[in-house]
Amino acid sequence: MRQVAALHFADLAPAVITTSPPELRMVHPAALLIDENYQRGLSERSVRLIRKIVSEWDWRAFKPPVVVDVDGDLHVIDGQHTAIGAVTHGGIDLLPVLVVEASAQEARASAFVRHNRDRIQVTPTQLHNAMVAAGDDDAVTIDQVCSRAGVTVLRNPPAFGKFRPGDTLAISTIRALISRRHAKGAREVLEICVKSGASPVAAATIKAVEHLLFAPEYKGELQHERIALILSAHASTIDQEAARFAAERRVPLWRALASVIYMNRRKARHG
């Protein structure tokens, strides 16, 4: 056993502390609220975790939820699974919670992001939606580009995998696309994906369309409407064609998809 000791970083300046330490309160778990503007919904994995919490409740493994007092209401910014588990258990009359300062919703969403940024339980899309609510500049830009292109960034995969046209989980790909092509170019790519009826708007499709629009060997060869038409007309077979092409040529799927779209440029016809 060893004593907790400080690490020494010559290049690190400690933060100036501007907030108060958390306050420990004992509350009834059913009194806690969850702001769905930035909190993630309950996925199948969440439900499994809550079942585990309920069936294996042990105060020795307990971590207090972090909450914010908003005009007397306690909003959970971290630990919603624990809070729901406590209510579901039925035998937890009082739950210890840590109350921190964050009066504005942006501040609460930002606190949620900081609590969850490095946790594997939070998916990139869940984190993105929280960062939008927190007013993060990059996340807001992504949200605006997607909205104007008709793309909906889901928090979780839909039930039974039933995506609607324009739905996407490919937030990391979209973020990289905007970084390379800026808002205008990224919107052009995403609009083509939406016009093709892509459901979902997958990472491979985004990268393939970007390649067709901007790569020197393809740039100017296909009009936007033509790419969307090809994707739509061959929707039932193009993914399989691309997968075969990728395996045969040993190239990434998105590059294979771009090649297959180009090879089908004379086959699609307007209905």
Biggest alpha carbon–alpha carbon distance for the chain: 75
The pLDDT of residue 133 is 81
Per-residue pLDDT reduced to its tens digit, 27-41: 999 999 987 765 556
Distance of CA 184 to the CA centre of its chain: 22
Distance of CA 116 to the CA centre of its chain: 12
**CA atoms of 48 and 25, how far apart (whole Å):** 28
255 band by pLDDT with thresholds 50, 70 and 90: very high
| CATH of segment(s) 23-103 | 3.90.1530.10
Residue 37 neighbours by CB under 8 Å, 6+ apart: 105, 109, 133
Domain boundaries, the chain: 23-103, 138-263
Strands 23-27, 95-100: pairing is antiparallel
Per-residue pLDDT reduced to its tens digit, 58-116: 999 899 998 888 888 898 888 889 999 999 999 999 999 999 876 555 554 555 555 55
Q: What residue has token string 């907030």? A: 19
Percent of the chain whose pLDDT exceeds 70: 88
